[in-house]
C-alpha cells in the first residue's frame, strides 16, 4: 500500500471555475485545526492543481515572512519548480473544498491547499497528501489539545456489559474529514476497530483503531506504548504502516493501512498452507520480529490474527502473497534489561515462562511464532486446540509437549519439523532467536508464496 494519505473533498463539481469567488466558510468543516494557534508561523501543505500523485510541499506561512500575498505566491512557484511542471507562475490558491484564499489572513494552522497557474481552473482529481505531512498534522492536532482548553464534548461511554458504546458520527473531525468510516469490525472493552476508505480516493483503505486509554493502561499495568512503538518501527517493510494518530482526553485514534486479510482468515479458507507459502510467511515475520527485537521491543501478542497479508494480483491464476506485515502493538512493551512478569497475550500462544510467572524476555515472541508456524503447517493449534477456557489452555501448555500428527510426519519436510522443535522449546534459553530463525535451513531458497 502506498505510504500516502487521501484528503477529503466536500460536495462539488468535478471541474470548477475560479469565478465567482466563494466566501470563506467556517473552517471547522475544512480544516481540523480551525482555530489559529499562538505561533509565529502557520504550517500548510501546498498541492499542485491537477497533479494527483504529488504529495505537496510544506511551507510556514506568516506576515513576517511574506509581507504580501503575492510574495507567498512567488515563494510557492519557486518551491514547486524542482518537483512539478508549471505552465506559468502560481496565481491562485484554493482549499480542498474549492474555496479560494485571497490573503495570508485566510490561512489556518494545518491547511491543505491547491495551487493553480494563470488561466487554470481548479480541478478535483482526488489529491494525495504525503504521509510525512499527515504525521505533522497529527502532531499539530495533539499540540492544540495541550494548548487550547478542552471543551466539554460528548464522548463514547462504556456500557454496563463492558463494551464501548461507540458512535462513529462522534469520531474526531480530523478522522471524518479525510476518511469515510464504513463499519466497525471489532468491539471489546478497550477497543473499537473501524474500516474506512479515503473520501477523495475510494481505492485507499484504512483501519481506524479507537482505544480507551484508561482501560488499556490498566490492562498493561501502565505500559501502553502502542503509538510510540509504531512510530519507532515505521522503517521496516514487514511492520504495518501507521498513517496518523489523533489523541483526545479519553480515547486515542490510530489510523493504519488496511491490507486484504489476516492469516487466520486465510487459513480458515485454505485449512492449511503449502510449505512454499509457509516459508514466505515465516521469512517475512521473522525479519519483522528480528527488527522489533533489535529495537528492544517485545510484541507479546504474535498470532495469526495479527499477521496481515498483502497480495500480488498480477499473477493470472491465483494471487501470490506479496508481503506479510506484523500488526497490533497494543500489548507491546520495551525490554530494559530486566525480565518481565506481567501475564498478557492470547492463551493458546502464551509461552510457559509467561504463564508460570518465572520471568520472560524476547523469547516469548519466538514461542508464539512457533505456535503460529505449527498452526500453518498442520491446520490446528499445538496445544488444547479444541479448548476455549483460558485456564484449561494454560494448564495444558504447562503439563504437555506438542505432538506432530502421525499422518503428517512423512508429508512435512525434516527442516520444517526441526524448526518447530527449535521454537516450541519449554526452556527459553534453548529457543531460537529471531535472527537464527531467519538463517534456518527451512527458510533458505524460498520460492514464491503462491496459494
Cite the DSSP H helix spans in 324-433: 352-355, 363-378, 390-399, 414-423
Q: What is the DSSP string of 256-317?
A: EE--SEEHHHHHHHHSS--HHHHHHHHHHHHHHHHHHHHTTEE-S--SGGGEEEEEETTSSS
Residues 6+ away with beta carbon under 8 Å from 179? 6, 8, 196, 197, 198, 199, 206, 208, 255
Are 302 and 434 spatial neighbours (Cβ–Cβ below 8 Å)? Answer: no
Are 306 and 346 spatial neighbours (Cβ–Cβ below 8 Å)? Answer: no
The catalytic site residues sit at 301
Among residues 442, 275, 298, which one has the least CA distance to residue 368?
298
- 384-387-392-393 Cα dihedral, nearest 10 degrees: 40
Our separate counts of H helices and E strands in the chain read 12, 21
Distance (Å) of CA 247 to CA 161, 174, 200, 312, 349: 25, 10, 24, 34, 31
Amino acid at each position: 500500500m502506498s505510504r500516502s494519505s487521501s484528503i477529503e473533498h466536500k460536495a462539488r463539481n468535478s471541474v470548477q471555475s475560479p469565478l465567482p469567488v466563494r466566501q470563506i466558510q467556517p473552517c471547522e468543516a475544512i480544516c481540523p485545526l480551525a482555530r489559529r494557534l499562538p505561533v509565529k508561523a502557520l504550517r500548510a501543505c501546498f498541492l499542485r492543481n491537477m497533479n494527483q500523485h504529488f504529495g505537496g510541499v510544506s511551507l510556514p506561512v506568516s506576515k513576517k515572512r511574506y509581507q504580501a500575498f503575492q510574495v507567498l505566491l512567488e515563494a510557492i512557484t519557486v518551491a514547486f519548480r524542482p518537483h512539478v511542471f508549471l505552465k506559468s507562475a502560481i496565481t491562485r490558491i484554493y482549499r480542498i473544498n474549492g474555496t479560494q484564499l485571497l490573503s495570508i489572513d485566510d490561512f489556518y494552522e494545518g491547511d491543505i491547499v491547491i495551487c493553480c497557474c494563470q488561466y487554470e481552473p481548479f480541478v478535483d482529481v482526488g489529491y494525495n497528501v504525503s504521509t510525512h505531512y499527515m504525521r505533522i498534522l497529527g502532531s499539530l492536532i495533539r499540540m492544540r489539545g495541550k494548548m487550547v482548553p478542552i471543551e466539554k464534548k460528548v464522548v463514547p461511554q462504556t456500557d454496563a456489559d463492558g463494551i464501548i458504546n461507540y458512535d462513529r458520527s462522534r469520531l474526531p473531525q480530523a478522522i471524518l474529514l479525510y476518511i469515510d468510516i464504513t463499519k466497525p469490525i471489532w468491539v471489546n472493552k478497550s477497543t473499537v476497530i473501524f474500516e474506512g476508505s479515503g473520501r477523495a480516493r475510494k481505492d485507499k483503505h484504512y483501519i481506524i483503531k479507537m482505544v480507551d486509554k484508561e482501560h488499556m493502561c490498566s490492562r498493561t499495568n501502565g505500559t501502553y506504548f502502542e503509538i510510540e512503538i509504531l512510530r519507532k518501527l515505521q522503517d521496516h517493510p514487514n511492520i504495518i504502516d501507521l498513517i496518523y494518530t489523533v489523541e483526545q482526553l479519553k480515547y486515542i485514534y490510530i489510523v493504519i493501512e488496511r491490507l486484504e486479510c489476516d492469516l487466520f482468515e486465510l487459513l480458515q479458507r485454505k485449512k492449511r498452507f503449502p510449505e512454499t507459502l509457509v516459508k514466505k510467511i515465516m521469512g517475512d515475520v521473522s525479519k519483522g520480529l528480528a527488527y522489533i527485537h533489535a529495537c528492544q521491543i517485545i510484541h507479546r501478542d504474535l498470532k495469526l490474527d495479527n499477521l496481515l497479508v498483502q497480495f500480488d494480483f498480477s499473477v493470472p491464476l491465483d494471487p501470490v502473497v506479496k508481503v506479510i506485515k506484523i500488526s497490533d502493538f497494543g500489548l507491546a512493551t520495551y525490554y530494559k534489561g530486566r525480565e518481565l512478569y506481567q501475564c498478557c497475550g492470547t492463551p493458546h500462544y502464551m509461552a510457559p515462562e509467561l504463564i508460570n510467572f518465572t520471568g520472560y524476555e524476547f523469547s516469548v515472541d519466538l514461542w508464539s511464532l512457533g505456535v503460529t508456524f505449527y498452526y500453518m503447517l498442520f491446520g490446528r493449534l499445538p496445544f488444547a486446540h479444541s479448548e476455549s477456557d483460558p485456564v484449561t489452555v494454560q494448564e495444558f501448555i504447562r503439563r504437555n509437549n506438542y505432538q506432530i500428527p502421525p499422518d503428517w510426519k512423512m508429508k512435512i519436510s525434516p527442516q520444517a519439523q526441526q524448526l518447530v522443535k527449535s521454537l516450541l522449546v519449554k526452556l527459553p534459553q534453548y529457543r531460537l532467536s529471531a535472527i537464527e530463525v531467519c538463517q534456518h535451513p527451512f527458510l533458505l531458497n524460498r520460492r514464491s508464496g503462491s496459494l
